[in-house]
C-alpha cells in the first residue's frame, strides 16, 4: 500500500535554499573588493588590522559559545562579516591590539550577551567602532597616508577647503581601511543587489535624504556653498564612511526594520542624522553614530509601520 508514503505536515512545504550562512558568505565576498583596495592603498598594516579584527571576532564567538555550551555558530560567517566590517572601519595606523579589543567587544558585548545572531540590538561592528572611537579618540582619528598624517577630505571640507572629488571617488585619500574607495564599495554593493541580498530601499532613501539635507543645509554650515552645489554634494557623498555605511551596515538584517514603510523611514532618518552630524556636529564624520542611533529606534519604527492585515476591517 502506498499510504505510508503520504506525509501529512503543515505549511510551509517549499523552503528557500537561502540560509544565514549563504547570505553572510555573499556579504563577505562583497566586502572583498573594498578590503583588497584598502590593503593595496595602505599596505601591510591594513592587512594586519583586517586579520586581527576578523580573527578576534571569530575566536571570541567560538570561545564564548564553547564556554556557554551553546551551539557553535562560527560556520555561518556572521562573525567573519562583523570582524571584517570592523577592520574596514579602523584607521590603518591604529595598533593591532585595538583591532583585537574591538573584535572582542563587538562579538562578546554587543552580540553574544544580547543573545547572539538575530538578537543584537545594534550593529556589532559599529558598536565596537564607537567603543574604540570614544576610548581612543586620538588613535582612531589620526589618519596616516603615504607616511604623512593629514586631515581626511571631510575634515578639510568642514574647515572650508576645496577637495579633489576624483581622488575621493577612486580612494587615494586618507581614511579608514575600507571607506576610502567609493568604487570598490559600489562593486561589492552591486554584487549584493544582483544576488538579491539587499535591496535599494534603505541605502537609496538614506543617500537621497542625505543629498537633500546637505543640499539645503550645506549653505548654513558653510556660507560659501550655494544651495545644491553639485561639487559640495559629490565630495560629501564620496567622503567618509557614507557609502560603506549605507550599503553594508545600514542594511544589516538584524538591526534594520523588516517592514517596507519602516525601511524608508529608517533610511530617511539615517540620512538626516548623518547630515546633521556632519554639518553641525563636533567632528567631521557622523555615519557610525547615525546608524547606531537609527538601530536603537528600529523597534519603534517597526511598531508604527506594522502593516494591517487585509480584510480585518482596517483602522477604527
Partner 1 sequence: MNNCTERIYNGLVKENPTFVLMLGMCPTLAVTTSAVNGVGMGLSTTVVLVLSNMLISMLRKIIPDSVRMPAFIVVVASFVTIVQFLLEGFVPSLYDSLGLYIPLIVVNCIILGRAESYASKNPVLPSIFDGIGMGLGFTVGLAAIGIVREVIGTGAIFGQQILPLADAAAGTGGYVPVTIFILPPGAFLVLAFLVALQNKVRNNAAKKGKKVTEPAGCGEGCASCGNSACGGNVFPTGNEK
Positions touching partner 1 (CB under 8 A) are 101, 109, 131, 134-137, 139
Q: Grid coordinates standing for 209?
A: 535624504
Shortest CB 134 distance to partner 1, Å: 5
Nearest to 184 by CA among 19, 20, 46: 46
Shortest CB 97 distance to partner 1, Å: 9
Nearest to partner 1 of 131, 253 (CB atom): 131
Cα dist from 157 to 20, 32, 45, 213, whole Å: 40, 29, 27, 16
Shortest CB 188 distance to partner 1, Å: 31
Does the N-terminal peptide bond of residue 11 adopt cis geometry, omega within 30 degrees of 0? no
CB 146: neighbour CB atoms within 10 A?
A: 10
Shortest CB 113 distance to partner 1, Å: 9
Nearest to partner 1 of 98, 184 (CB atom): 98
Nearest to partner 1 of 49, 233 (CB atom): 49
Nearest to partner 1 of 139, 305 (CB atom): 139
**CA-based Rg of the chain, rounded to a whole angstrom?**
21
Shortest CB 17 distance to partner 1, Å: 39
Shortest CB 153 distance to partner 1, Å: 25
> DSSP assignment of 253-308, as one string?
TTTS-SSHHHHHHHHHHHHHHHHHHHHHSSSS--HHHHHHHHHHHHHHHHHHTPPP
Nearest to partner 1 of 94, 198 (CB atom): 94
How far is 177 from 49, CA to CA, in rounded Å? 9
Place of cell 570561545: 63
Shortest CB 135 distance to partner 1, Å: 4
Nearest to partner 1 of 44, 134 (CB atom): 134
Nearest to partner 1 of 102, 188 (CB atom): 102
Nearest to partner 1 of 40, 114 (CB atom): 114
Shortest CB 139 distance to partner 1, Å: 8
Amino acid at each position: 500500500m502506498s499510504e505510508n508514503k503520504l506525509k501529512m505536515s503543515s505549511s510551509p512545504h517549499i523552503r528557500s535554499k537561502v540560509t544565514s550562512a549563504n547570505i553572510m558568505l555573499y556579504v563577505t565576498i562583497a566586502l572583498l573588493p573594498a578590503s583588497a583596495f584598502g590593503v593595496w592603498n595602505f599596505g601591510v598594516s591594513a592587512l594586519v588590522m583586517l586579520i586581527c579584527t576578523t580573527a578576534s571576532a571569530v575566536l571570541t564567538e567560538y570561545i564564548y559559545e564553547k564556554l556557554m555550551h551553546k551551539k557553535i555558530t562560527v560556520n555561518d560567517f556572521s562573525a567573519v562579516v562583523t570582524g571584517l566590517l570592523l577592520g574596514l572601519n579602523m584607521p590603518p595606523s591604529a595598533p593591532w591590539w585595538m583591532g583585537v579589543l574591538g573584535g572582542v567587544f563587538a562579538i562578546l558585548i554587543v552580540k553574544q550577551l544580547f543573545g547572539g545572531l538575530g538578537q543584537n540590538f545594534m550593529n556589532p561592528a559599529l558598536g565596537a567602532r564607537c567603543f574604540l572611537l570614544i576610548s581612543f579618540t586620538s588613535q582612531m582619528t589620526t589618519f596616516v597616508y603615504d607616511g604623512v598624517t593629514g586631515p581626511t577630505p571631510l575634515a578639510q571640507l568642514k574647515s572650508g577647503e576645496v577637495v579633489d572629488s576624483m581622488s575621493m571617488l577612486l580612494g587615494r585619500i586618507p581614511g579608514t581601511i575600507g571607506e576610502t574607495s567609493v568604487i570598490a564599495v559600489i562593486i561589492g554593493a552591486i554584487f549584493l543587489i544582483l544576488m538579491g541580498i539587499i535591496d535599494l530601499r534603505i541605502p537609496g532613501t538614506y543617500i537621497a535624504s542625505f543629498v537633500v539635507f546637505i543640499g539645503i543645509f550645506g549653505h548654513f554650515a558653510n556660507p560659501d556653498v550655494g544651495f545644491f552645489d553639485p561639487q559640495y554634494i559629490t565630495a560629501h557623498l564620496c567622503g567618509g564612511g557614507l557609502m560603506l555605511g549605507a550599503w553594508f551596515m545600514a542594511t544589516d538584517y538584524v538591526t534594520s526594520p523588516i517592514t517596507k514603510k519602516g525601511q524608508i523611514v529608517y533610511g530617511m532618518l539615517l540620512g538626516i542624522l548623518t547630515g546633521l552630524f556632519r554639518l553641525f556636529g563636533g567632528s567631521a564624520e557622523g555615519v557610525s553614530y547615525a546608524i547606531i542611533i537609527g538601530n536603537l529606534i528600529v523597534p519603534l519604527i517597526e511598531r508604527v509601520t506594522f502593516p494591517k492585515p487585509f480584510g480585518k476591517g482596517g483602522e477604527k
